[in-house]
């Protein structure tokens, strides 16, 4: 059973455009929702994270939107740049440590110049 469903699998955006990646979950006990960014040949790195007590979190050009009632959250990349080309993973965790972290299957983002 896939606990976190991520879409789309791949995404192509023009430079300056908005990239949107969506994730949905079923388990209402999840209380931490991070996004990881992975460049080719590198390990994933934490990009931004949100807890369900807020509906939006913004860090620079990256924004997480969270809809608790719909059990969905999304990553928005404003003014997308070629340097943003990477694979993005959403994840969710239940009350505690990393052993409870479950990942989506990833979205490969390509930003064309």
- 53 binds another protein, rule: CB under 8 A: no
Site string for another protein, 23-42 (x = CB under 8 A): ---------x-x-x----xx
Q: Which residue has the tokens 């009632």?
A: 69
**What are the b/e assignments for 52-81, b being 16+ CB within 10 Å?**
beeeebeeeebbbbbeeeebebbbbbeebe
The span of 16-24, 54-62, 73-81, 90-98 binding another protein (CB under 8 A) equals: 90-98
**CB of 65 or CB of 103, closer to another protein:** 103
CA dihedral angle for residue 23, residue 26, residue 30, residue 34, rounded to 10 degrees: -10
Interacting residues toward another protein by CB under 8 A: 6, 9, 32, 34, 36, 41-46, 49, 89, 93, 96-101, 103-106
């Amino acid at each position: 059973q896939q606990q976190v469903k991520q879409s789309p699998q791949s995404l192509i955006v023009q430079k300056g455009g908005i990239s949107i990646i969506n994730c949905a979950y079923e388990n209402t006990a999840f209380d931490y929702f991070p996004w990881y960014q992975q460049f080719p040949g590198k390990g994933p790195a934490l990009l931004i994270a949100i807890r369900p007590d807020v509906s939006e979190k913004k860090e620079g050009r990256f924004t997480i939107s969270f809809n608790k009632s719909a059990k969905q959250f999304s990553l928005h990349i404003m003014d997308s740049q070629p340097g943003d080309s990477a694979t993005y993973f959403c994840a969710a965790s239940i009350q505690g440590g990393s052993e409870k972290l479950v990942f989506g299957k990833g979205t490969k983002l390509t930003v064309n110049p």
